[in-house]
Structure 1
Amino acid sequence: MTKTQRQRMIADWLREFRVGSQEELAARLSLAGIAATQATVSRDLLELGAVKLKRDGSIRYVMPDQVESGHAAAKLDRLLAEWVDAIIPAGNLLVLKTPPGSANLVANALDAAGLEEIAGTIAGDDTIFLAVADGADPGLVAALLQRRRSGA
């Protein structure tokens, strides 16, 4: 089974069942004949953009498309403040600098927030290329993200 297939399986389970822990996912994978450690499951959840929420009285993982927009916006603001070191305009792109290993987390939050000014993101290890949507001013988008980053 490939990583993509395993992640698709995890995403399907998160949408269908109440999954409250990484260990539970590792056990489900094991029952399906797929060996995966808790660390592997943790990386999969991060790459999928899954978040842990309290719903219906229990804590569970959900996929980004299952999150209310208010929660996604609050998560984005927190991640911008905690993990983005710089926002640099570059033509119709913005370059966001993060500590090593953090870019994917921030890019997933940017994509999940559904901001109409953002066409999409590409994340490396410590750098995000953010494509500004047609008609949006990159300088204004940079200022918007900077305000969200500073909590203003």
Structure 2
Amino acid sequence: MRKADRHLLIRQIITEHTVRTQEELLQQLEVQGVSATQATISRDIRDLKIVKVPDESGQTKFVIFQGMQASEDEKEEEQRLIQMIEDVVTKVDRVQFMTLIHTVADNAPLLSAAIDEVTMPEKVCSLAGFDTVAVISRSDEDAETFYQFIRNHAVL
């Protein structure tokens, strides 16, 4: 199956079914006659901007990120970042020149990429783990400004 066709099928599965894990997504694909590896599914999830969000019961499930599409226009990139902050940030801490952003499980890499797309003088770079993004600033003052930006947009 072509990548584009697989992506279309994954979007359909995520939209029509509650999918909580990559394993469940693999099983749903197999039901549709599509065999894929876990690595392929991981790349597809990143490419399709699928994120995990809590449902009514507090358990996480996959959804298609509803933020604005990436654009070269800086304002649109910032709006996309703000939407993502609202959707996935669970906690924010600051330690000297670093801002630590905690996310819903498995969303840190996507948030880190969104942060890196936006030009902000307060940040040098970001590093992502599974559910935490570390943003490095040049000074404590820059880190405080960036920390306040995240706090102002996060739904904590």
Kept after mapping to 2: 8 A contact 1:78/1:149: no
Contact in 2 for aligned 1:83/1:102 (Cα 8 Å): yes
Q: Do the aligned partners of 1:80 and 1:149 also contact (CA within 8 Å) in 2?
A: yes
Quick check: 2:74–2:118 contact (8 Å CA) kept in 1? yes
Gaps of at least 5 residues in structure 2 are 8-35, 50-64
- Are the aligned partners of 2:127 and 2:133 in contact in 1 as well (CA < 8 Å)? yes
- Matched residue type, 1:23: A
Amino acid at match of 2:87: E
Is 2:105 the counterpart of 1:100? yes
- Asked if 1 retains the 8 angstrom alpha-carbon contact of 2:97 and 2:136, the reply is yes
Q: How much does 1:136 deviate?
A: 3.8
Question: Quick check: 1:67 aligned with 2:72?
Answer: yes
Match for residue 52 of structure 2?
Answer: none
SS in 2 for 1:145: helix
Superposition RMSD in Å: 3.4
Within 5 A, what are the aligned runs for 1:115-130? 115-130=120-135
Alpha-carbon distance in 2 for matches of 1:22, 1:75: 25
Inter-partner Cα distance in structure 2 for 1:22 and 1:52: 21
**Equivalent position SS for 1:137:** helix
Is contact 2:123–2:142 with CA below 8 Å preserved after alignment?
no
Structure 1: runs of 5 or more not aligned: 1-20, 27-35, 55-61
Q: Is the 8 A contact 1:72 1:112 kept in 2?
A: yes
One-letter amino acid of the counterpart of residue 100, structure 2: V
| Equivalent pair of 1:88/1:95 in contact (CA under 8 Å) | yes
**In 2 relative to 1, CA 41–85 (structure 1 residues): closer, same or farther, beyond 3 Å?**
closer
**C-alpha displacement at 1:39, in angstroms?**
2.4
Shift of 1:91: 1.4
TM-score (norm 2): 0.56
What is the aligned partner in structure 2 of residue 5 from structure 1? Answer: none
Q: Report SS of the residue matched to 1:122.
A: strand
User: Quick one: distance in 1 between partners of 2:6 and 2:83?
Assistant: 26
Identity %: 15
Judged with a 3 Å threshold, the aligned counterparts in structure 2 of structure 1 residues 93 and 67 are, in CA distance, closer, same or farther, namely same
Instruction: Compute the TM-score of the two structures, normalised by the length of structure 1.
Output: 0.58
Equivalent-residue separation in structure 1 for 2:139 and 2:119 (angstroms): 15
Q: Please give the alpha-carbon distance, in whole angstroms, between the structure 2 residues aligned to 1:41 and 1:127.
A: 19
Q: 1:46 to 1:119 in 2, by over 3 A?
A: farther
User: In the alignment, does 2:95 pair up with 1:90?
Assistant: yes
Q: What is the match of residue 111 of structure 1?
A: 116
